[in-house]
A and B are shown apart, each in its own frame.
Chain A
Amino acid sequence: MRPDIELTDLYLARLAREKHFIQGDEAAAFGAIFAGCSFFGGYPITPASEIAEVMARELPNIGGYYVQYEDELASISAVIGAAWAGARAMTATSGPGFSLMQENIGYACMTETPCVIIDVQRSGPSTGQATLPAQGDVMQARWGTHGDHEIIAVAPSSAQECFDLVIHCFNLSEEYRTPVILLMDGEIGHLRERVILPDPSTVHRRDRRKADEGELVFGGETIPPMMEFGDGGFVHVTGSTHKEDGLRDVQTQSVHDRLVRRLVAKIEGAREEISLVDVDVEEGAGVGVLAYGATARPAKGAVLRARGDGHRVNFCRPVTIWPFPIARIQEACRGLDRLLVPEMNLGQLAREVERFVDCEVVPLSKIGGVVHSSREIHAEIVEAVAAC
């Protein structure tokens, strides 16, 4: 189908004119629509089903394809296949489905397939508290698939950010030719608030860099250009260790070493460029709070309240979770005695923070499907200030 771009832009402009009081899930789906997503493969799961519902309704309006698959294994597989056939492709799920997708997320890393995976985290392990939020997939996003690899994951803290960051995820996936994870949580996914959709002409959509005939598709430079199916280049895509031309070589040590080190380097080397961190520091602060996703909202409230009490407190919210924004976090924590890290898990990101900052890191873990209250975090800040 030849896309009628003018009609699409008019339709998006109409969406943008309408007032939107919507959930984070819906905002993320609208973000994908504005980013030019052309394929969505999904499977229903609480609390991410609303994303599939909006995609099913809106994708045909912009000439895109929605397919509901038999499971999450098929969804991520179809997304990768569609990406090689020219799509800007996305899927959305929650913890159990995210677990099922891990093998093929590794396949997407290995084959350098641009695609977006939304994980609306819920309370686990296993079926856990299906309807309640959590932040327990932070490490699964990082290390869920086997083998050495780097991954990009970003965590929104508001419905507006769900919209904005999905577009950002699509652009990152094209720029670095890699799967990108939007690490939402159930609280943000179901949080209903005002979202402003932009004029479609102002949305930046990064185009895919395509290979010319004879160019290497799986090497030769850190981020090689892509050859899609139907381009006439007889591209050979495999999750097995492959040479720069895409053909398998699973025996030679140097081939594997060169490939995997390049895949790691292309993201590791761009760590600071990729990093988005929301930092609000005060001169001479001894205590800081680091939080992300839904938890960042009560954390910010608690920091503001503590400042109202006359305390000096730093606030730091990594939007980019992976690759971990080392330099920005270190900068935000300079001079601190104690850093509080409220998370809806048993300290998954706190341990990562601890590796890189000099001060004492205190995890404020809360599980069971309830977000920290601002009061709880405020009390911890006051205690920490008194102890420092």
Chain B
Amino acid sequence: MLRRLIDPEYFEAAAPSEVEAQETPSFPQYGTRDPLLGLCPDEVVDRPGPTRHRLLRYLREEVLPTTFCVGCGGGTVLNAFAHAVDEMHIDPREIVCVTGIGCSSWIPSPYFLCDTLHTTHGRAIAFASGVKVMRPDMKVIVIAGDGDLAGIGGNHLIHAARRNLDLTVFLVNNFIYGMTGGQVSPTTPFGTRTTTTPYLNLEHPFKIADVVAAAGGSYVARWTTYHVFQLMESMQNAIHKKGFSFVEIISQCPVSYGKMTGTSDPVTMLQQLRDASIHVDDSKGLSEEELDRAFVVGKLVERQRAEFGDGLQQLIARRRESLRTEGDLRQDTSALETGR
């Protein structure tokens, strides 16, 4: 049914060999692309009727157009994610996208064409861990928002980072509960007016990527929807990294956040993201006050730690081998054959 959109030969022909996959991949440079559309002219497929975007093959076309508000960063994240998957030549049949509740969770469910688990509020990572433990061969990717992953599901986030199961998490941080109309979230900056902090936010926000880094994530990065090409590359690194990988994607919500903070123009909001961003390499020596006001972007952490799923597999192999060699299992098989 939906498989018609996928040309299996494309993936089989283009899939990197196993040896190559283990080496650090050299990702293509994005400089040749159209900076606005991310398209190369020769990648546009000519078909009768309107020109089709080549990445449409990764989307559930029957649910388009998206329900995102005008100027939402969700579409940018979807675009970057589809590009990342495409660049990596991952067969979408090997991807499970797990999401929670909120605008960001709608990015892959329903729009991205893969197995999709749209779960309850906050529990996406927990659901994903069950999927990944059972299917270590599949790419299990969580895409959800700040309210979902840092708020109601914050405990699952830090424990997943600690456990270091091979999950990939993209947290779309728009500083607000957008779907419910603009309530304060755990990442809303101090002193911000929202619908539930009408007299300004008295709480301090999580720097959620730093939290995950401290909790033990194997790959942790932060980018914004302004930095689309860096984001695409970071997404690929995160998907490729064995272990718990996490990318915080700072995104604009013109409708629920912008209207309260006085900048509901998406372009202005993107410019603000750009201006407030400092690359991690340039952030050394900055005062805490300066760091508080900035978004430190780039790769924050990359480390090697034993991966939990591998550990489970090895444990089972050890137990099974020990049963096999214990001997007494086979000594009395007559009991099995005669039904005791």
Q: From the candidates A11, A75, A89, A107, name the one contacting B329 in the complex (CB within 8 A).
A: A11
A-chain residues with CB within 8 Å of residue B113 when the two chains form the complex: 234
A-chain residues with CB within 8 Å of residue B133 when the two chains form the complex: 39, 65, 67, 78, 82, 85
- Judged by a CB distance under 8 angstroms, whether A201 is at the interface is yes
Query: In chain A, what residue has the closest Cβ to B92?
Result: A234
A-chain residues with CB within 8 Å of residue B66 when the two chains form the complex: none
Q: Is A230 a contact partner of B2 (Cβ separation < 8 A)?
A: no
Q: Is A1 a contact partner of B94 (Cβ separation < 8 A)?
A: no
- Judged by a CB distance under 8 angstroms, whether B283 is at the interface is no
Q: Is B328 a contact partner of A86 (Cβ separation < 8 A)?
A: no
- Judged by a CB distance under 8 angstroms, whether B109 is at the interface is yes
Q: From the candidates B93, B96, B109, B126, name the one contacting A77 in the complex (CB within 8 A).
A: B126
B-chain residues with CB within 8 Å of residue A41 when the two chains form the complex: 130
Q: Is A39 a contact partner of B134 (Cβ separation < 8 A)?
A: yes
- Judged by a CB distance under 8 angstroms, whether B324 is at the interface is yes
- Judged by a CB distance under 8 angstroms, whether A239 is at the interface is yes
Q: Is B1 a contact partner of A213 (Cβ separation < 8 A)?
A: yes
Q: Is B93 a contact partner of A232 (Cβ separation < 8 A)?
A: yes
Q: Is A38 a contact partner of B134 (Cβ separation < 8 A)?
A: yes
In the complex, how many angstroms separate the beta carbon of B147 from the nearest chain A beta carbon?
Answer: 16
- Judged by a CB distance under 8 angstroms, whether B53 is at the interface is no
Known: A38-B134, A77-B127. A239 touches B315 (CB 8 A): no
Q: Residue-by-residue, is A79-111 near B (CB-CB < 8 Å gives 1, otherwise 0)? A: 111111111010000000000000110010000
- Judged by a CB distance under 8 angstroms, whether A229 is at the interface is yes
Known: A63-B320, A238-B109. A87 touches B116 (CB 8 A): no
Query: Which residues 156-201 of A have a CB within 8 angstroms of B?
Result: 199-201
Give complex CA distance A219, B103 in Å.
Answer: 27
Q: From the candidates A104, A199, A214, A234, name the one contacting B340 in the complex (CB within 8 A).
A: A199
Known: A81-B98, A232-B3. A87 touches B330 (CB 8 A): no
Interface centre among A14, A79, A85, A238 (most CB of B within 10 A): A85
Q: Is B315 a contact partner of A73 (Cβ separation < 8 A)?
A: no
Known: A81-B117, A234-B2, A240-B118. A74 touches B126 (CB 8 A): yes
Query: In chain B, what residue has the closest Cβ to A239?
Result: B120
- Judged by a CB distance under 8 angstroms, whether B276 is at the interface is no
Q: Residue-by-residue, is A275-300 near B (CB-CB < 8 Å gives 1, otherwise 0)? A: 00000000000000000000000000
Give complex CA distance A358, B194 in Å.
Answer: 59
- Judged by a CB distance under 8 angstroms, whether A7 is at the interface is yes
- Judged by a CB distance under 8 angstroms, whether B135 is at the interface is yes
Query: Which residues 222-242 of A have a CB within 8 angstroms of B?
Result: 229-240
Q: From the candidates A83, A103, A104, A237, name the one contacting B116 in the complex (CB within 8 A).
A: A237
Q: Residue-by-residue, is B84-122 near A (CB-CB < 8 Å gives 1, otherwise 0)? A: 000000001110101000000000011001111111101
Give complex CA distance A60, B320 in Å.
Answer: 7
Q: Is A247 a contact partner of B63 (Cβ separation < 8 A)?
A: yes
Q: Is B135 a contact partner of A239 (Cβ separation < 8 A)?
A: no
Query: In chain A, what residue has the closest Cβ to B156?
Result: A74
Q: From the candidates A14, A78, A79, A234, name the one contacting B114 in the complex (CB within 8 A).
A: A234
Q: Is A237 a contact partner of B131 (Cβ separation < 8 A)?
A: no
Give complex CA distance A14, B320 in Å.
Answer: 14
Q: Is A247 a contact partner of B159 (Cβ separation < 8 A)?
A: no
Interface centre among A63, A65, A201 (most CB of B within 10 A): A65
Known: A60-B316, A77-B130, A233-B1. A11 touches B336 (CB 8 A): no
- Judged by a CB distance under 8 angstroms, whether B323 is at the interface is yes
In the complex, how many angstroms separate the beta carbon of A112 from the nearest chain B beta carbon?
Answer: 13
Interface of A is mostly: mixed
- Judged by a CB distance under 8 angstroms, whether A69 is at the interface is yes
A-chain residues with CB within 8 Å of residue B128 when the two chains form the complex: 81
B-chain residues with CB within 8 Å of residue A380 when the two chains form the complex: none
Q: From the candidates B93, B118, B333, name the one contacting A236 in the complex (CB within 8 A).
A: B118
Interface centre among B127, B137, B318, B335 (most CB of A within 10 A): B127
Q: From the candidates A61, A84, A238, A239, name the one contacting B131 in the complex (CB within 8 A).
A: A84
Q: From the candidates B2, B117, B126, name the one contacting A84 in the complex (CB within 8 A).
A: B117
- Judged by a CB distance under 8 angstroms, whether B251 is at the interface is no
In the complex, how many angstroms separate the beta carbon of B316 from the nearest chain A beta carbon?
Answer: 5
In the complex, how many angstroms separate the beta carbon of B128 from the nearest chain A beta carbon?
Answer: 6
A-chain residues with CB within 8 Å of residue B9 when the two chains form the complex: none
- Judged by a CB distance under 8 angstroms, whether A262 is at the interface is no
Interface contacts beyond A14-B332, A73-B126: sample of 19 additional A-B pairs, CB < 8 Å, sorted by A: A14-B329, A17-B332, A17-B335, A67-B130, A69-B129, A73-B156, A74-B159, A78-B130, A82-B130, A82-B134, A87-B130, A104-B120, A200-B336, A234-B92, A234-B114, A234-B115, A237-B117, A238-B110, A247-B63
- Judged by a CB distance under 8 angstroms, whether B291 is at the interface is no
- Judged by a CB distance under 8 angstroms, whether B317 is at the interface is yes
B-chain residues with CB within 8 Å of residue A77 when the two chains form the complex: 119-120, 123, 126-127, 130, 156
- Judged by a CB distance under 8 angstroms, whether A4 is at the interface is yes
Known: A1-B313, A7-B324, A77-B119. A60 touches B134 (CB 8 A): no
Q: Is A199 a contact partner of B313 (Cβ separation < 8 A)?
A: no
Give complex CA distance A80, B126 in Å.
Answer: 10
In the complex, how many angstroms separate the beta carbon of B158 from the nearest chain A beta carbon?
Answer: 8
Give complex CA distance A82, B135 in Å.
Answer: 8
Q: Is B340 a contact partner of A11 (Cβ separation < 8 A)?
A: no
- Judged by a CB distance under 8 angstroms, whether A337 is at the interface is no
